[in-house]
Amino acid sequence: MQLWLIPILPFAGFVINGLFGRRFSKGLVNVFGIGSVVLAFAWVLKTIAGLGDLNSAYTEHYFTWIQSGAFTINCDFSVDRLTEVMLLVVTGIGSLIHIYSIGYMAHEHGPNHGGYYRFFAYLNLFMFFMLVLVLAANYLVLFVGWEGVGLCSYLLIGFYFTKKFATDAGNKAFIVNRIGDFGFSLAMFYIVKAFGTLDFSQVFSRAAGIPEGTLTLIGLLLMVGAAGKSAQIPLYVWLPDAMAGPTPVSALIHAATMVTAGVYMTARSWPIYTHAPMAMEVIAVIGIATAFFAATIGLAQNDIKKVFAYSTVSQLGYMFVGVGVGAFSTGIYHLVTHAFFKALLFLGSGAVIHALSGEQDLRNMGGLRSKIPWTFWTMACAWVAISGVPFTAGFYSKDAILLAAYRHAPWMYWLGTVTAGITAFYVSRAMFMTFFGKYRGHEHHIHESPPVMMLPLTILGLLSLGGGFLFEVPKFLSSVFPPVEEFEDLTLMLTSVGFGLAGIGLAILMYVAKPAMAESLAANIKGLYTLVYNKYFVDEVYDATVVKPLVGGSRLVLWRGIDVGVIDRLANGIGYGARDIGGVLRLFQSGNIRSYAAWVVFGSVLLIVALGLAAGGGR
């Protein structure tokens, strides 16, 4: 089956574009950059077709990576139905976004068209690592991909590296991710200690026999890693800042693929979690809390990309709820549909920004429906999908999660439904402020985006609308995950839909019918509004409690105290000591011959005494 080709094709694209892209024309960069991903997608299709009805995992072993006594780690790739779903999402959406980038990044020109080849090289590198992550057959190879996508995220967020806020955001993403990775590493150590191996098949088959306490600990630590990568409380702070990167990056990495790695990893580890119910409970609680929390922040944001960023955090929370209540396939289902409509929302906002030559503030948009109609209609598909309008893709997946949540704990259902309403509201708000009403900005040449950008938008629009009943993901994944009872309740379904429609309605009221209402409402609840608008000051709190003490401690204790005070003093002290000893010895060199003679006589007297003692002692 040659599974290794799937990640290697984008990696080859990275190498070629990275090393030689500087000298290529744009067309040649495109051939390698996009061609490699499209080829990978084609190979994925071929592999899936070749594997047929996969009921157990198909593994390919490549080489033994680590061999230490009884502990072995191999470089293996394995494919089961879950992997197939992920592969299709990653390569499919990845290809669409690569095609979109041709148009979006076309202006990155310079003597050697500047960052154009660099962008595609990094993007290809990201695809490589993501595919390694998805195909991995043990935790360590997964971790390689995990770290690699973190690296590419950093590189791509800080793509416009001459701008400080971009590089700061890249640093923030990487550092916060690192905290999560620390948890992941600890989890891996515990797995090795408890199971003696990191291989998925071996770990999962033995999970039943391990004490629940150990499994809970492992599960919680894995969750720390997932919280970092998938932007859950408390490690979500990097995702909104990551919008500093180019929009295709936000779409691919921070909506469709990288941030879902945490969900994927958690779903993959379901044998561990089903035997550690407390860990699952924690995951579900974190998920629903994040979903609600992020949705409220999204209400008040004015940057179009930030709105969708908080929306991503919120939707990821939904996925974790699905996984946390035991309905693993619903979490993955939402992952797939979210990839469709969230990528579309981001790409669409990229088209809007492109049309307005860089404007991102919602307050400066308006009335664009007539000027960029195609963008509007495709984004509208995503809008209805995320709002949970019946029969769209988002409706099916969100509904499945909410129902599963109700079975587990009704309060989660209610909180999730309220959040759905808020979600519908803020996305509608963004849509209305952008496309309806009067244009409030200054731009004169508002033009539709080129076809190369429109095509992916169209495809994603169709998928957002129809993807729900085209791809019956839970049924597809039923052989992978433990069986969940089929549950349908019309009342609950209608209630959640109702909340969603109410959200849209309220947005129509506030932003279309009576535009002034928004401002007056904001003025009336100024305190609360300020709190939400400033994202509950979480970043500031982190800065004060974690960052500043750490930096201050480093500076005072580690730098001044230890490095300068101890180590430097030690090193310099040796120098000073040598110099001082030399200074003392120098006094012998008086230049006076008689004193030299005196010292000689002194020495010879000592010698005589010594010899006498030696001989005397011998006698």
Partner 1 sequence: MDIVLFLIFGTIAVVAAINVVVQTHPISSAVSLIGVMGSLAVLYLLLGAEFIAAAQVIVYAGAVMVLFIFVIMLLNAGAEVKRGRSLVVQLLGAPLLIALLGLLAYFVERVFPQSVKVHFGGFTGGSAQAVGRALFTTYLLPFEVTSLLILIAILGAIVLGRKELD
Partner 2 sequence: MTEVPISWFLALSAILFALGVAGFLFRRSIITVFMSIELMLNAVNLSFVTFSYQYKQVSGHLFTFFVMVVAAAEAAVGLAIILTVFKNRATLNIDDVDSMKN
Residues of this chain that bind partner 2 (CB under 8 A)? 586, 589-594, 597-598, 601
Cβ closer to partner 1: 161 or 602?
602
Contact, 398 vs 334, CB < 8 A?
yes
Cβ closer to partner 2: 520 or 595?
595
Task: Indicate the SS3 state at residue 67.
Answer: strand
**For partner 1, how many residues bind (rule: CB under 8 A)?**
14
Cβ closer to partner 2: 567 or 601?
601
Task: Indicate the SS3 state at residue 11.
Answer: helix
Query: Residue 599 binds which entry of partner 2, partner 1, none, with Cβ cut-offs from 5 to 8 Å by kind?
Result: partner 1
Query: Residue 586 binds which entry of partner 1, partner 2, none, with Cβ cut-offs from 5 to 8 Å by kind?
Result: partner 2
Cβ closer to partner 2: 527 or 591?
591
Cβ closer to partner 1: 494 or 598?
598
Q: Tokens 């691919």 map to which residue?
A: 252
d(CA 609, CA 320): 89
Minimum CB separation of residue 579 from partner 1 in Å reads 24
**SS3 sequence, 539-594?**
HHHHHHHHHHHHHHHHHHHHHHHHHHHHHHHHHHHHHHHHHHHHHHHHCCCCCCHH
Cβ closer to partner 1: 211 or 603?
603
Alpha helices in 21-159 (DSSP H): 26-51, 81-104, 116-135, 139-157
Amino acid at position 429, single letter? R
Task: Indicate the SS3 state at residue 434.
Answer: helix
Cβ closer to partner 2: 574 or 601?
601
Cβ closer to partner 1: 573 or 612?
612
Q: What distances in angstroms separate CA 613 from CA 121, 600, 609, one per listed residue?
A: 82, 20, 6
Query: Residue 589 binds which entry of partner 2, partner 1, none, with Cβ cut-offs from 5 to 8 Å by kind?
Result: partner 2
Minimum CB separation of residue 553 from partner 1 in Å reads 55
d(CA 465, CA 458): 11
Measured on CA atoms in the order 561, 562, 567, 568, is the torsion positive or negative? negative
Q: Residue 494, interface with partner 1 (CB under 8 A)?
A: no
| β-bridge mates for residue 76, sequence order | 61
Cβ closer to partner 1: 209 or 583?
583
Contact, 302 vs 361, CB < 8 A?
yes
Q: Tokens 């991102």 map to which residue?
A: 360
CA-nearest of 265, 264, 284, 263 to 326 is 284
Query: Residue 605 binds which entry of partner 1, partner 2, none, with Cβ cut-offs from 5 to 8 Å by kind?
Result: partner 1
Query: Residue 612 binds which entry of partner 1, partner 2, none, with Cβ cut-offs from 5 to 8 Å by kind?
Result: partner 1
Minimum CB separation of residue 591 from partner 2 in Å reads 3
Q: What distances in angstroms separate CA 412 from CA 227, 285, 401, 405, one per listed residue?
A: 19, 8, 10, 6
Minimum CB separation of residue 593 from partner 1 in Å reads 9
Cβ closer to partner 2: 513 or 593?
593
Q: Pick out residues in 581-610 that bind partner 1 (CB under 8 A).
A: 590, 592, 594-595, 597-599, 601-602, 604-605, 608-609
Supply angle C-alpha 304, 310, 313, rounded to 5. 145
Minimum CB separation of residue 558 from partner 2 in Å reads 43
d(CA 345, CA 430): 11
Query: Residue 544 binds which entry of partner 2, partner 1, none, with Cβ cut-offs from 5 to 8 Å by kind?
Result: none
Amino acid at position 90, single letter? V
Query: Residue 618 binds which entry of partner 2, partner 1, none, with Cβ cut-offs from 5 to 8 Å by kind?
Result: none
Query: Residue 608 binds which entry of partner 2, partner 1, none, with Cβ cut-offs from 5 to 8 Å by kind?
Result: partner 1
Other beta carbons within 10 Å of 259? 28
Query: Residue 609 binds which entry of partner 1, partner 2, none, with Cβ cut-offs from 5 to 8 Å by kind?
Result: partner 1
Minimum CB separation of residue 586 from partner 2 in Å reads 6
Query: Residue 70 binds which entry of partner 2, partner 1, none, with Cβ cut-offs from 5 to 8 Å by kind?
Result: none
Q: Pick out residues in 533-592 that bind partner 1 (CB under 8 A).
A: 590, 592
Give the footprint of partner 1 on this chain (CB under 8 A).
Answer: 590, 592, 594-595, 597-599, 601-602, 604-605, 608-609, 612
